[in-house]
Amino acid sequence: MTPKILLSKSDARMTLDAARILTNDVTFNGEYNPHKIGLFVISNEYGPVAAVWASNEEDALDEAVNADLMQGFACEGPIHFDEQEQTDVDEDGITVTRLGNAGEPFYLDNCACRPLAQSDMPVALLIAFAEARGEGANTLDDVKSAALATVRE
């Protein structure tokens, strides 16, 4: 069973399975960071579904799709381009957004993506990210110190 990790000091409901927290481009405050990379939390109406390091929301969504963390937003069925609206739509006329390296279609109406300030991250989470970066881990599930940031239930 993958441990649940607390992402925010200010919101105890912001927890996520360690395997759904990517350590793809960990960059700490004070380091050279010209692209302003930070941790983005992607959520639906039920809470966080993924956390990835990126420089903006679009890149964060693309990273999450490429890591197969956005299945709940995936669009099934045929997609076509609506000439009048100049956008991709499904067979019911609902707008979809193409994401990831493969340009797969997703519904983003119930998707939120926001950066999480490092000042709001628990120290144990920052320690886990430091270990993950040092070991070249893919997710927090791959590092032992992630247990320090585990939610106690």
Q: How is the chain split among helix, strand and coil, in percent rounded to 5?
A: 25, 30, 45
High-pLDDT (> 90) share of the chain, %: 75
Whether 62 is in a domain gets the answer: yes
Residue 7 and residue 125 in contact, taking contact as beta carbons nearer than 8 Å: yes
Within a domain: 60: yes
Q: So what's the pLDDT on residue 119?
A: 97
What's the mean pLDDT in 128-144?
96
Domain count, the chain: 1
pLDDT, position 134: 96
Of 28-37, 57-66, 71-80, the one with minimum mean pLDDT is 71-80
For residue 47, what are the domain limits?
A: 4-71+111-148
Does a structural domain hold residue 54? yes
Q: Flag whether 144 is in a domain.
A: yes
94-103: pLDDT as tens digits: 788 889 998 8
Q: Do 125 and 5 touch, CB atoms closer than 8 A?
A: yes
Query: What is the distance between the alpha carbons of residues 125 and 132, in angstroms, rounded to a whole number?
Result: 10
Calculate the CA dihedral of residues 133, 144, 14, 48 and round it to 10 degrees.
70
Q: Indicate whether 79 belongs to any domain.
A: no
Per-residue pLDDT band for 136 (boundaries 50, 70, 90) equals: very high
In a domain, 22, yes or no: yes
152 or 35: whose pLDDT is higher? Answer: 35
Cβ(42)–Cβ(21) below 8 Å: no
Write the pLDDT tens digit of every residue in 72-85: 999 987 877 777 76
Residue 96 lies in a domain: no
Indicate the range of 18-22, 38-42, 72-76, 135-139 predicted with least confidence. 72-76
Range among 49-58, 87-96, 101-110 rated most confident: 49-58
